[in-house]
Structure 1
Amino acid sequence: EDIHKGTLEVLQKTGVTFEHKGALEIFRKNGCKVQDHNNRVMFPPELVEECINTTPSSYLAKGRDRKHDIILGGNIIHFSS
């Protein structure tokens, strides 16, 4: 819990730098503060929590051939190169 709270604080106060202008606009439109002089994005804790709560715990990554499909997440571990 302490690590989670600390992470939320860093994302809100320190932020993350992004160079992609399109990404910066998406963040801005979704409630993030964007510092234009250094492309730093500050994430509101509520947005981070919403993203965490709406992200599935696993998903299907499809290969070109169905035999290469894999489920990522959950309790399944994959090793690959």
Structure 2
Amino acid sequence: MPQEAFHLELDLFDTGDHYNLLLIPCNNVFFVVSNNEHFITMVKNGKGTDAWEQQDGQVDDEVFEKLAIALGGYIDNL
């Protein structure tokens, strides 16, 4: 698991606009920041994409799944 903050760039809403997200890890919790505002807090409770849960935030399931896949891929490549 990452120990320091990092950035991911994603097209969250399939509009062609990419969002530069700051992810701040704290054990199995990731605070996601977009445009200097809290976007979502994600918690990992196991392995795989289905292990991610939304702890704080109001993100659609489709957007949350994109975040979970991207974050899981980043962690797997460490």
TM-score, normalization: structure 2? 0.22
| Between structures 1 and 2, the one with greater helix share | 1
- Greater Cα radius of gyration, structure 1 or 2: 1
| Between structures 1 and 2, the one with greater strand share | 2
